[in-house]
């Protein structure tokens, strides 16, 4: 197994709008990230992935890029970014940036030119089609048709919002532009990229109509637009032209890649270092509508988790995460009605540390999402107007159209809203959690004073300390071969609500990880050995307390 820095790394995802504001405009900024590097260093982080910071009209919070070479003024300047790269490097923290290359913003100058002048070379940078009728019945990820009419029987295609027109990767000049962008950022000093929605770049089936999957007469682009035949040509070329240095870490958001084809993406000669798998993160959903909540059991969760882990380990490297900026908080997702109430800090510690042990025990590069290390939970949003996210508002409307009442539709939004994880980071007990001296762009969660980073840094029994400790356990020379490179094997005879697995190094050394996901005492059969972590003060090998999680070598 090849050794390389990003396999051993623990990453931290930063949503820059919500991390730390230094100028009082209520929006987090790059200077704020610089200010908080010591916090990340102390946590044990090796790289940060920063969500988009490019100039953007912010219809989709930066995932609508208007200039791939700049910095949005709300986040600072290119000098700030260069300073961050320098300071991060001095702290031994690498920087990964988000690349949104399936689409741009409709405010990008390419699109503006393309709209203005049908003969401009930029017209073919996008997917324009002449047609009397809507060209296909494909539904975009954020609702409604993927086709937007711009008059005179002209339509353009958008996988996401209509303000995010898709780029036409069939055009070699467009592809050259993309490669120049990547090389520009590599020269600036970034250590890698997270590729947004990259499996949508090849259009084929979604340009044609299909049997509708709902009463709106449309069919989701998730079904017809992901990972289409011919995508390999684009991904291989991009890899050859920009990403062939193995030191460059790449992680792709790549829905629609079947497990049996994973090697093409993440194998020795794959297009990327690793991809995110959504199977277990989306365990709570049946399809794209949030109102179709899935009933699931811990048995189902284990099946998904270990199918993912086992498929990845035979074909390449993986990325493990429980939260990101598109997900609700993991305590709410995985413990549902059993999730700790906001004021039950002890239960929050137990559940948070149980999930931390899972995350640090799995095989793959670990991604922690900002605030996860504090045990953040979902926010309380009392009306749809309190949400910023366009996806949440669309999903709320979908629920209403499907016949749910306002309260039920709001509940679906609350359970799943991306704004749950986008609320300002709680730094201290001051107003707005010390995130800003101004008015935050999205309200703070009302528990900020009790879980804030400052408080947890002063408490050796806090979840934050637990995370710091676990990260060190993972990196410890004595555990590294097992916890980083070791094979994953599920312990199949564990009871249903106990996630149990072992990591086995090439030399046969073993670490077992046992996590009781339930609120009752459960039976266990843990190997004898050195206890590496335990979220209780007591331990016995034959049973686990509610939410108890242990690692034994
Ligand atoms: C996936 C990103 O993670 C999400 O936040 C965004 O809305 C869409 N892609 C569109 O870029």
pLDDT digits (tens, 9 = 90+) for 129-168: 999 999 999 999 999 999 999 998 999 999 999 999 999 9
- Beta-sheet strands, E only, within 204-339: 219-220, 249-253, 274-276, 319-321
CA distance 492 to 500: 8
**Residue 219 structure tokens:** 């069919």
Cα(413) to ligand 1 centroid in Å equals 17
Cα(19) to ligand 1 centroid in Å equals 18
Q: Is the CB of 533 under 6 A from ligand 1?
A: no
Candidate from 102, 321, 326, 420 with most ligand 1 atoms within 8 A of CB, to mutate: 326
Q: What is the pLDDT of residue 52?
A: 98
DSSP for 421-432, please give it: GTSPP--SSSGG
Burial 438-447 (b: 16+ CB within 10 A, else e): eebbbbbbeb
pLDDT averaged over every residue in the chain: 97
Residue in this structure with the two tokens 């509610």, named with its chain if needed: 546
Candidate from 64, 98, 100, 108 with most ligand 1 atoms within 8 A of CB, to mutate: 100
Per-residue pLDDT band at 519 (split at 50, 70, 90): very high
Q: Is the CB of 197 under 6 A from ligand 1?
A: yes
Q: What is the pLDDT of residues 346-380, one digit of tens each?
A: 999 999 999 999 999 999 999 999 999 999 999 99
Per-residue pLDDT band at 1 (split at 50, 70, 90): confident
pLDDT at 236 over 90: yes
Cα(302) to ligand 1 centroid in Å equals 27
Share of the chain above pLDDT 70, in %: 100
CA distance 190 to 94: 7
Instruction: Quote the crossing angle between the two packed helices 172-188 and 78-90, to the nearest 10°.
Output: 50
Three-state secondary structure call for residue 110 = helix
* 551, 373 Cβ separation under 8 angstroms: no
pLDDT at 2 over 90: no
The answer to whether 253 is a known catalytic residue is: yes
Strands 510-516 and 549-552: antiparallel
CA distance 299 to 279: 14
pTM of the model: 0.98
Q: What is the pLDDT of residue 551?
A: 98
Cα(175) to ligand 1 centroid in Å equals 21
DSSP for 388-421, please give it: --HHHHHHHHHHHHTT--HHHHHHHHHHH-GGGG
Residue in this structure with the two tokens 């499996």, named with its chain if needed: 199
CA distance 298 to 304: 10
Q: What is the pLDDT of residue 503?
A: 98
Options 21, 98, 166, 196, the catalytic residue: 196
* 165, 157 Cβ separation under 8 angstroms: yes
Q: Is the CB of 196 under 6 A from ligand 1?
A: yes
Cα(181) to ligand 1 centroid in Å equals 19
DSSP for 106-145, please give it: TTSHHHHHHHH-TTSGGGGGB-EEE-SS-S--EEPTTSSB
CA distance 433 to 421: 15
- Beta-sheet strands, E only, within 235-377: 249-253, 274-276, 319-321, 365-369
pLDDT at 102 over 90: yes
Q: Is the CB of 282 under 6 A from ligand 1?
A: no
Strands 487-490 and 498-504: antiparallel
β-pair partners for 276:
253, 319
What integer is the mean pLDDT of 222-242?
97
Candidate from 57, 60, 282, 321 with most ligand 1 atoms within 8 A of CB, to mutate: 60
Three-state secondary structure call for residue 299 = helix
* 34, 50 Cβ separation under 8 angstroms: no
Q: What is the pLDDT of residue 399?
A: 96
* 188, 81 Cβ separation under 8 angstroms: yes
pLDDT at 287 over 90: no
CA distance 137 to 221: 9
For the CA of 324, the nearest atom of ligand 1: 3
Q: Is the CB of 278 under 6 A from ligand 1?
A: no
Q: Which of 79, 38, 76, 26 is nearest to 55 (CA)?
A: 76
> Atom 5 in ligand 1: which residue has the minimum CA distance?
326
> Atom 2 in ligand 1: which residue has the minimum CA distance?
196
Q: Which residues contact 363 (CB under 8 A, 6 or more apart)?
A: 309, 312, 313, 318, 320, 484, 486, 487, 488, 503
Q: Is the CB of 323 under 6 A from ligand 1?
A: no
* 473, 492 Cβ separation under 8 angstroms: no
CA distance 96 to 93: 10
> Atom 10 in ligand 1: which residue has the minimum CA distance?
63
Options 166, 253, 284, 372, the catalytic residue: 253
Q: What is the pLDDT of residue 152?
A: 87
Cα(351) to ligand 1 centroid in Å equals 28
What integer is the mean pLDDT of 108-134?
97
DSSP for 472-533, please give it: HHHHSHHHHIIIIISEEEE-TTS-TTEEEEEEE-TTS-EEEEEEE-SSS-EE--PPSS-EEE
Cα(197) to ligand 1 centroid in Å equals 7
What integer is the mean pLDDT of 511-529?
98
The answer to whether 72 is a known catalytic residue is: no
Q: What is the pLDDT of residue 452?
A: 98
Q: Which residues contact 260 (CB under 8 A, 6 or more apart)?
A: 311
CA distance 401 to 392: 14
Burial 322-344 (b: 16+ CB within 10 A, else e): bbbbbbbbbbbbbbeeebbebee
């Amino acid at each position: 197994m090849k050794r390389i820095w990003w396999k051993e790394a623990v990453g931290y995802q930063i949503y820059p709008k919500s991390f730390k504001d230094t100028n009082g405009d209520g929006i987090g900024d790059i200077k704020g990230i610089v200010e908080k590097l010591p916090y990340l260093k102390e946590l044990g982080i090796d790289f940060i992935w920063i969500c988009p910071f490019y100039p953007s009209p912010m219809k989709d919070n930066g995932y609508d890029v208007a200039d791939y070479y700049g910095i949005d003024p709300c986040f600072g300047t290119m000098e700030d970014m260069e300073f961050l790269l320098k300071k991060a490097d001095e702290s031994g923290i690498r920087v990964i940036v988000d690349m949104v290359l399936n689409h741009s913003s409709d405010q990008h100058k390419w699109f503006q030119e393309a709209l203005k002048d049908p003969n401009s070379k930029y017209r073919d940078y996008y997917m324009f089609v002449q047609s009397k009728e809507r060209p296909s019945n494909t539904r975009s990820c954020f609702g409604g048709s993927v086709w937007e009419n711009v008059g005179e029987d002209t339509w353009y295609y958008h996988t996401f919002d209509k303000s995010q027109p898709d780029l036409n990767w069939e055009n070699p000049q467009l592809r050259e532009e993309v490669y120049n962008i990547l090389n520009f950022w590599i020269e600036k000093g970034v250590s890698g990229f997270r590729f947004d929605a990259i499996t949508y770049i090849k259009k084929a089936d979604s340009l044609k109509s299909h049997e509708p999957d709902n009463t709106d007469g449309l069919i989701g682009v998730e079904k017809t637009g992901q990972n289409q035949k011919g995508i390999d040509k684009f991904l291989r070329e991009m890899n050859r032209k920009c990403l062939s240095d193995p030191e460059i870490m790449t992680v792709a958001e790549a829905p629609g890649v079947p497990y049996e084809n994973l090697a093409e993406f993440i194998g020795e000669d794959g297009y990327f270092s690793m991809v995110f798998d959504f199977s277990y993160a989306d365990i709570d959903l049946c399809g794209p509508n949030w109102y179709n909540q899935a009933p699931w059991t811990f048995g189902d969760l284990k099946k998904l988790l270990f199918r993912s882990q086992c498929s990845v380990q035979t074909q390449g490297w993986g990325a493990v995460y429980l939260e990101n900026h598109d997900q609700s908080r993991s305590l709410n997702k995985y413990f549902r009605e059993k999730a700790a109430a906001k004021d039950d800090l002890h239960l929050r510690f137990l559940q948070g540390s149980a999930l931390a042990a899972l995350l640090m025990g799995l095989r793959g590069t670990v991604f922690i999402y900002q605030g996860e290390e504090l045990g953040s939970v979902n926010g309380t949003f009392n009306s749809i107007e309190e949400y910023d996210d366009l996806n949440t508002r669309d999903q709320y409307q979908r629920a209403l159209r499907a016949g749910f009442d306002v309260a039920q539709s709001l509940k679906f939004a609350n359970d799943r809203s991306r704004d749950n994880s986008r609320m300002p980071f709680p730094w201290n007990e001051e107003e707005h959690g010390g995130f800003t001296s101004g008015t935050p762009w999205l309200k703070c969660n009302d528990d900020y004073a009790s879980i804030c980073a400052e408080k947890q840094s002063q408490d050796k029994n806090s979840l934050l300390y637990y995370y710091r400790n676990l990260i060190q356990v993972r990196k410890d020379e004595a555990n590294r071969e097992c916890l980083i490179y070791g094979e994953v094997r599920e312990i199949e005879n564990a009871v249903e609500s106990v996630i149990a697995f072992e990591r086995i190094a090439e030399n046969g050394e073993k670490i077992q990880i046992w996590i009781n996901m339930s609120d009752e005492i459960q039976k266990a059969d843990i190997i004898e050995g050195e206890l590496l972590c335990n979220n209780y003060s007591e331990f016995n090998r034959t049973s686990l307390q509610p939410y108890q999680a242990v690692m034994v070598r």
